[in-house]
Amino acid sequence: MFEKLELTRMAQALAAHSGARMGVIARNVAHADTPGYKAQDLPAFAEVFSATDGQMRATRPGHLTAASSAAALVPERAPGRESPNGNSVSLEGEMVKSVEARQSHEMALAIYRATSDVVRASLGRAR
């Protein structure tokens, strides 16, 4: 039932994008001292969502459905200055990106909860 509501589908896509972005950020932080490692990031959610015409994209094979033909989110090289060893990870920048991803995820969950409450109220069920 919820997957038919555009707002919940968008919130679900935002939560999935935020989770995938946190994974990329964690990988960047793990490689902060690796010589030659280039920081990565995912495209902005608005770009990803508009490119898929509102259809959610799978983040791994079998994520949404086994027959999903959606492409996986592919990290791209993030802009930034390189240190003398060729590493472009900025821990401060990664902290800022992680806060943005967390806020996006929390917003998606809040939207989903609010939508759920509206549906429950329309059915005459209390929390």
**pLDDT tens digits for 26-64?**
999 999 999 999 999 999 898 887 776 555 556 666 665
Backbone angles phi, psi at 81, to 5 degrees: -80, 145
Contact between residue 56 and residue 64 where contact means Cβ atoms under 8 Å apart: yes
| Report field, pTM of the whole predicted structure over 0.85 | no
Residue 110 lies in a domain: yes
Within a domain: 81: yes
Residue 127 lies in a domain: no
Question: Phi-psi category of 73—alpha, beta or left, where left has phi over 0 and alpha has psi -120 to 50?
Answer: beta
Structure token pair of residue 40: 């990565």
What are 2's two structure tokens?
């919820």
DSSP 32: T
Alpha-carbon distance of 24 to 42, in angstroms, equals: 8
At residue 66 the predicted structure's pLDDT band, cuts being 50, 70 and 90, is very low
In which domain, by residue range, is 85 found? Answer: 2-122
The answer to whether position 56 is within a domain reads yes
Query: With bands split at pLDDT 50, 70 and 90, how would you rate the model's confidence at 20?
Result: very high
Residue 15 within a domain = yes
Count of domains in the chain? 1
Domain-embedded: residue 112: yes
User: Would you say 43 and 78 are in contact if contact means Cβ atoms under 8 Å apart?
Assistant: no
24 within a domain of the structure (yes/no):
yes
Please, which pLDDT band fits residue 77 given cuts at 50, 70 and 90? confident
Residue predicted with more confidence, 61 or 102: 102
Instruction: Tell whether 34 is covered by a domain.
Output: yes
